[in-house]
Structure 1
Amino acid sequence: MDSTDMFKHILIPIDDDAGSRRVIEQAVALAHSIGTCVTGLHVMMEFNVSGIVDELIEPPLDQLQKLSRAHADKLFSPLTYEAEHAGVACDTIAVQGDSPWRAIVAKAAESGCDLIVMASHGRRGITKFMLGSETQQVLTHTEVPVLVVH
């Protein structure tokens, strides 16, 4: 079995990190070379305002959600551009969640993705220990193969 039989749908988690640009380039190039499609995923922050006085929130919750979605669309722009120019079918999904790795694992399964291509953010030492690693969590909790781009 060659790679064209193995991978039909690549999930590309995208965030604000500079590594996302490298991931987009690598994932789209791979998708183009094996004739597969890609889906970009951005996990937007959950806004939990329970217990907060509405007047203290600037802007209101619905406005925060619109701003978050606009930010996601901006993050998807390089992916849609690269995919279009490479002739790769591309979809994007923005979801809200407190745990990006959980959303990545869930969307890969729900969308029938058979490869996840994501960045290694390069955290080291105590920072990695304290903050954890979304990539490490995905690697630990998914049954889908993961290609990590450094």
Structure 2
Amino acid sequence: MYYQRILIATDGSTLSEKAVDHGLALAELSGATAIALKVVPRYPRSYFEGGMAVELADVKRIEQQWNDAAQALVDAVQARGKARGITVKAVVSKSDLVAEAIIAAAKKHKADLIVMASHGRKGVKRMLMGSETQHVLTHSHIPVLVLR
């Protein structure tokens, strides 16, 4: 089976770069289009989290910085794909629910494969924080390739 559209989720980490490399290689081998996705969280605005209150202008500035960094990340993946003759669509999604955003983007762009890294949380951190990769694996109806 050959893939036509491969969604590559990245967060810029070393491990997700491995997923980007494999996703682009699969796209090249199968002649698929790739969708490079970075999910950007919204800035927490709760006064009950123990942090200092932040001015709205500062929140907007921080969110813009995060968005600009995310756009630069997916643009770099797009350039790497272009250098290999692969069509790559660069997508930035804003959501606090990373796994759901990945699944929604895969559906929206009609991806037939999701490629992402396993961040390998273990023990208490995994129990407390959960795993975005695990959530995608258990909730996606689209095949998922996880790289470690």
Q: Name the TM tier (shorter chain).
A: 0.7 to 0.9
Give me the TM-score of the superposition, normalised by structure 1.
0.86
* Corresponding residue to 1:16 among 3, 6, 12: 12
Match of 2:143 in 1: 145
Letter aligned with residue 32 of structure 1: E
Matches of 2:39 and 2:61 in 1, distance apart?
Answer: 17
Counterparts of 1:57 and 1:19, CA distance in 2: 34
Q: In the alignment, is the contact (CA less than 8 A) between 2:74 and 2:91 conserved in 1? A: no
For 1:80-114, what per-residue CA distance to the aligned partner results, in whole angstroms no more than 9, with x for missing partners?
23201111000111111111001001111111111
Q: Which string of whole-angstrom CA distances, capped at 9 and with x for unpartnered residues, describes residues 20-75 of structure 1?
A: 110111100110001001001111111353669xx843852332232111110232
Q: Hey, what's the Cα distance between the residues in 1 that align with 2:142 and 2:63?
A: 30
Residue 25 (structure 1) aligns with: 21
Where does the alignment leave 5 or more consecutive residues of structure 1 unmatched? none
Counterpart amino acid of residue 144 in structure 1: I
Q: For residue 41 of structure 2, what is the amino acid of its counterpart?
A: M
- How high is the TM-score relative to the length of structure 2? 0.87
Name 2:35's counterpart in structure 1.
39
Mapped pair 1:93 → 2:91? yes
Following superposition, which runs of at least 4 residues in structure 1 exceed 3 angstroms of deviation? 48-52
Q: Distance in 2 between matches of 1:143 and 1:108?
A: 10
Equivalent in 133, 136, 144 of residue 135 of structure 1? 133
Give 2:111's match in structure 1, choosing from 104, 110, 113.
Answer: 113
How many residue pairs were aligned?
144
Q: Which amino acid aligns with 2:98?
A: P
